[in-house]
Amino acid sequence: MKNFKEFISSYSDFPKKGIIFRDTLKILQYPEVFNDLISRMSNTDIVRNADAILAIGARGFIFGTAISLKTSKPMIVARKAGKLPGELISQEYSLEYGKDTLSLQENSLHAFKSFAIVDDLIATGGTVKSVIKLLKSKNKFITGLVIAVELDELNARKQLSIPVYSQIKW
């Protein structure tokens, strides 16, 4: 099997001391490898059983869009505060330092009952948890989470009440 890790760059002490940043953008320079990764992420029950993809910005949009095109599933987005116009539902969440807020456009949810959440990477799981809260607040069903990279030692998977598919574990 292809070693996808070779196509992800690692940076020590970014964005702050003690963090190893796994940069998924390098893989975009290798379209055949990216296509292989997207095929694997798409070929999951989590995606198959969802009405739509919910991509978490900004890196999640890259993976979400590719999965959406590959599977012909519609996609909606979650973005940080201040980026989306219209009626929003919002959820504050904790980061390693401080807090942030994620929002969804209320009208993007109406047509769909179930969602596959897509991002490039899961670390502590705080971001995904806030999206789960937002979707549940609107009585939506979540088929699961699909990510390229899972930072295994942080054990975020155990704290989520949904199926998780990751291609690369670190």
Residues that bind ligand AMP (CB under 6 A): 19-22, 56, 59, 119-127, 151, 156
List the structure tokens of 156: 């975020």
Q: Tell me how far, at minimum, the Cβ of 169 lies from ligand AMP, in Å.
A: 13
Q: Which is nearer to ligand AMP, 46 or 122 (CB)?
A: 122
Closest CA to 7 of 45, 42, 38: 38
Half-sphere exposure (CA, 13 Å, Cβ side) for 89? 16
Q: Tell me how far, at minimum, the Cβ of 113 lies from ligand AMP, in Å.
A: 25
Torsions phi, psi for 97 (to 5 deg): -135, 125
Q: Which is nearer to ligand AMP, 67 or 122 (CB)?
A: 122
Q: Which is nearer to ligand AMP, 14 or 107 (CB)?
A: 14
Q: Tell me how far, at minimum, the Cβ of 110 lies from ligand AMP, in Å.
A: 26
Q: Tell me how far, at minimum, the Cβ of 111 lies from ligand AMP, in Å.
A: 25
Q: Tell me how far, at minimum, the Cβ of 71 lies from ligand AMP, in Å.
A: 21
Q: Which is nearer to ligand AMP, 12 or 72 (CB)?
A: 12
Torsions phi, psi for 101 (to 5 deg): -130, 135
- Asked if omega into 116 is within 30° of 0 (cis), the reply is no
Q: 125's torsion region: left (phi>0), alpha (psi -120 to 50) or beta?
A: left
Q: Which is nearer to ligand AMP, 47 or 156 (CB)?
A: 156
Q: How far apart are CA 152 and CA 106, in angstroms?
A: 33
